Amino acid sequence: MAAYSTEKIAPKYHEAIVAWQKKNFPELAFLEANWSKHFGSQTPFQLTAKIGKLQTDTIQYGRFIGKPKFESAGVMTGNMFYSARDIIRAQASTELGSIEQHRLTLESAPTDEMKLSVLRIMAEELRHAYQMFWVLDHDASWKKPGHPDIAAETMDELLAMHLGTHVLDAFNIPFHNFLDNVVFATFIDLVGKYQLEMQKVFSYAPMARSMGPMLSEEGFHIGSGRSFLRELAVGAVKQSGDFSLSDIQKTINVWIPRGAEMFGNERGGETAVAFGFKDRNNGTAQSEYLSECRDIVEMTNVAIVQTMLADITAPDARVVVRTIQDTGDAQRGIRPEDLLLVPHGSFFRKRGLDEVAFQPYDVNGNLLTEDGKPLAAASYLDYLRKNLPEYYVNGSEFAKYEAALVASSVEGKSAHSW
């Protein structure tokens, strides 16, 4: 039996989401026509909200601990009401933004399996947006007496967002090639997994009930990302694929810093815990995330070593990977640059702690210096240009970073931290 029940939202917004899909994701029809061929055993895609079960009926964290979870938004007061709305709005924006991003490079998928998997990811992100609309739409108390209709206002705003105006930076970066689809599903959907997991405790019950079903779908997104990343890395080693290992590394260097920033300032997040919205603060979640990124990249490196050294077992390949990375020396003909690496959490940051945002850290987390002083903006930009994809450093996202870096170095402090 399904661990959830399903619901539709009111026709006005249901139809608005269908209209959004027809415009921004017309390939859904192709996925539906090919579903059983690729995903035979799984329930076909349906645009519904899935209502799961609560972990507990009472609030698990923060200042209302032990009280019953809130069934209606209207009982949340002041800042708490608007913070809940902001989380729902940001979540829905990520779902819609990622569909727009995946679509840009969908047709360049190296295999049918990769294309169909990305289509399924896009469909499920659409359902996640629908789920957030359900949270807003089914609860009439998002409109408080004498106040604007926050639900309608938020849903209308979301439907009008597009690449460039989404809430979080990571969802405004256009994809350039299929490596973006794969690296994004691996490392940005992983942030999604952390957010959903933290929000299983949400003190506003309709949000808490939404998390389980969304999480089980995220499992497919992350799993697809990891297996395609491994496939592309092995293809790079065999020189049979579309991408080199250096292409893969540079793409990872674009996305993981954005993923790290999605957690918010490393010293923040206490308010969300106090409101019972999340079970961890930003810094804790971010360090768990980066450590999981390193585990994923290690698995990819094991596959690389197993491709380079025929007949080596996975455990032995792991020893080789760790030895190369710990010592910085080649092992059995494999050099450090033959492996992938997770950039340090301080590399290429534009948000977060003042001592990190816009500071010239290298991929290993060392502060780059020149004559005993942190590297000047122009020299750090040169360093970044060598470590990020060429299309990216020639694009508008990097131009924005460059302008903000120069401004922050003129002011002598970070201009854009939060």
128 binds Fe ion (CB under 5 A): yes
Q: Which of 85, 89, 221, 226 binds Fe ion (CB under 5 A)?
A: 221
- Taking the complex as a whole, the smallest distance from the CB of residue 372 to Fe ion amounts, in Å, to 45
In the complex with Fe ion, the residue whose CB is nearer, 93 or 286, is 93
Q: Which two tokens stand for residue 248?
A: 């893969």
- Taking the complex as a whole, the smallest distance from the CB of residue 125 to Fe ion amounts, in Å, to 5
Is the distance from CB of 263 to CB of 286 less than 8 angstroms?
yes
- Taking the complex as a whole, the smallest distance from the CB of residue 324 to Fe ion amounts, in Å, to 32
Of 377, 397, 376, 394, the residue nearest 385 (C-alpha): 394
- Taking the complex as a whole, the smallest distance from the CB of residue 192 to Fe ion amounts, in Å, to 5
In the complex with Fe ion, the residue whose CB is nearer, 171 or 401, is 171
Q: Which two tokens stand for residue 242?
A: 């579309």
- Taking the complex as a whole, the smallest distance from the CB of residue 128 to Fe ion amounts, in Å, to 4
In the complex with Fe ion, the residue whose CB is nearer, 94 or 409, is 94
Q: Which residues pair with 70 in a beta bridge?
A: 204
- SS3 category, 204: strand
- Taking the complex as a whole, the smallest distance from the CB of residue 259 to Fe ion amounts, in Å, to 13
Stretch that binds Fe ion, among 131-139, 188-196, 340-348, 401-409 (CB under 5 A): 188-196
Which is it for the CA torsion 252, 254, 257, 258, positive or negative?
A: negative
In the complex with Fe ion, the residue whose CB is nearer, 184 or 401, is 184
H or E element that contains 301: helix 282-308
Of 398, 280, 289, 306, the residue nearest 342 (C-alpha): 289
Of 47, 10, 9, the residue nearest 28 (C-alpha): 47
- Taking the complex as a whole, the smallest distance from the CB of residue 129 to Fe ion amounts, in Å, to 8
In the complex with Fe ion, the residue whose CB is nearer, 35 or 130, is 130
* Residues 310-369 within binding reach of Fe ion (CB under 5 A): none
Stretch that binds Fe ion, among 43-51, 121-129, 160-168, 288-296 (CB under 5 A): 121-129
Kindly write out the interface string for residues 58-97 of this chain, putting x where it contacts Fe ion by CB under 5 A and - elsewhere.
-------------------------------------x--
Stretch that binds Fe ion, among 161-169, 221-229, 280-288, 303-311 (CB under 5 A): 221-229
189 binds Fe ion (CB under 5 A): yes
**Which are the contacts of 406, defined by CB distance < 8 A and separation ≥ 6?**
377
Alpha-helical segments (H) within 238-360: 245-261, 270-274, 282-308, 314-327
127 binds Fe ion (CB under 5 A): no
In the complex with Fe ion, the residue whose CB is nearer, 98 or 253, is 98
In the complex with Fe ion, the residue whose CB is nearer, 210 or 331, is 210
Rounded to an integer, what distance in angstroms lies between the CA atom of residue 290 and that of residue 189? 13
H or E element that contains 210: helix 205-237
In this structure, which amino acid lies at residue 172?
Answer: N
Rounded to an integer, what distance in angstroms lies between the CA atom of residue 129 and that of residue 116? 20
- SS3 category, 43: coil
Stretch that binds Fe ion, among 79-87, 214-222, 302-310, 333-341 (CB under 5 A): 214-222
Of 78, 71, 95, the residue nearest 207 (C-alpha): 71
**Which are the contacts of 412, defined by CB distance < 8 A and separation ≥ 6?**
none
Q: Which two tokens stand for residue 376?
A: 């000047």
- Taking the complex as a whole, the smallest distance from the CB of residue 52 to Fe ion amounts, in Å, to 15
- Taking the complex as a whole, the smallest distance from the CB of residue 153 to Fe ion amounts, in Å, to 23
Q: Which residues pair with 7 in a beta bridge?
A: 49
Please identify which residue in the block is written with the tokens 């998390």.
Answer: 211
How many residues form the binding site for Fe ion (CB under 5 A)?
6
* Residues 231-290 within binding reach of Fe ion (CB under 5 A): none
**Which are the contacts of 290, defined by CB distance < 8 A and separation ≥ 6?**
256, 260, 342, 345
In the complex with Fe ion, the residue whose CB is nearer, 197 or 218, is 218
In the complex with Fe ion, the residue whose CB is nearer, 118 or 317, is 118
In the complex with Fe ion, the residue whose CB is nearer, 218 or 362, is 218
Binding-site ranges for Fe ion (CB under 5 A): 95, 125, 128, 189, 218, 221
